[in-house]
A and B are shown apart, each in its own frame.
Chain A
């Protein structure tokens, strides 16, 4: 539950950020889902430069505020962004933790295949050598 830390339950309604799966036990999958969209990645890139309001975040996109809000909800659900306490502007803030988790997971998956493929490359050399030997013998 990436958003659980330091957030009193009442905050959810007060801030108007609907944290649909606030009780989600699966932060990594919601992070992956959240990242699987260019608009949402664009929003994250913008927030990496500093907090911003919904209106500011919507500016580069040719879509309604409502559509942008939907993307923000997905990002909030994944714990990738949080809502500021300023009741009027509710600036969005980038949360780095879940992003780190997903990249760590990707890294371990890559390492598994990296190690396997190192061994496969070595094994292919052995196979080629054996093939050459067999050919030599046949001649």
Chain B
């Protein structure tokens, strides 16, 4: 199942991504708030997360280093703003002063909703400045994705 982006959310402007998981809500909550678990899925296949430290409380820090399959490392530092277990997690990414241009900063809200035996996962990303979205296009996510896809293509050849 693929995530869906709600384009109409540009009204606000926000980006909304949703996904349905075949797992109870409490388990999904653990998977997204326990750094031991987050490090195992964040970034997707081929990505590793050498650093994932979460101080799960309002104002607490989330220090994260993600490594792309080609070895490129991305430092992502965030501050938790709101933690309502097991349904709502809000964090704000903070600017990386060592990088120029720095990756964009955003306030991200994940909401978990019980849907019978499934759990609806919803992410609302609100970028502080839409100016910063431009940087994402230039050197942020685009780069991460292509790094991942290159590795995947190589892997497919070997199969």
Contacts and interface: CB of A to CB of B under 8 A. Distances in A.
Nearest to A37: B11
Task: Assign chain B's interface to a size class.
Answer: 35 or more
B100 interface: no
Interface of A: 26-29, 32-33, 35-38, 101, 104-106, 108-125, 127-128, 131
Nearest to B30: A127
B21 A121 contact: yes
Interface string B134-157: 101100011011001000000000
Interface of B: 1-5, 7, 10-13, 15, 17, 19, 21-23, 27-28, 30-32, 37, 40-45, 47, 121, 123, 125, 129-134, 136-137, 141-142, 144-145, 148
B31 A123 contact: yes
28 contacts: A28-B133, A28-B134, A29-B132, A32-B13, A32-B133, A35-B13, A36-B10, A105-B133, A105-B141, A105-B142, A106-B5, A109-B5, A110-B2, A110-B17, A112-B144, A112-B145, A114-B44, A115-B145, A116-B42, A117-B121, A119-B43, A120-B21, A120-B32, A121-B19, A121-B21, A121-B22, A123-B41, A128-B27
A27 B131 CA distance: 9
A113 B32 CA distance: 13
B134 A29 contact: yes
Contacts, number: 116
B141 A108 contact: yes
Contacts of B137: 28, 101, 104-105, 108
B41 A110 contact: no
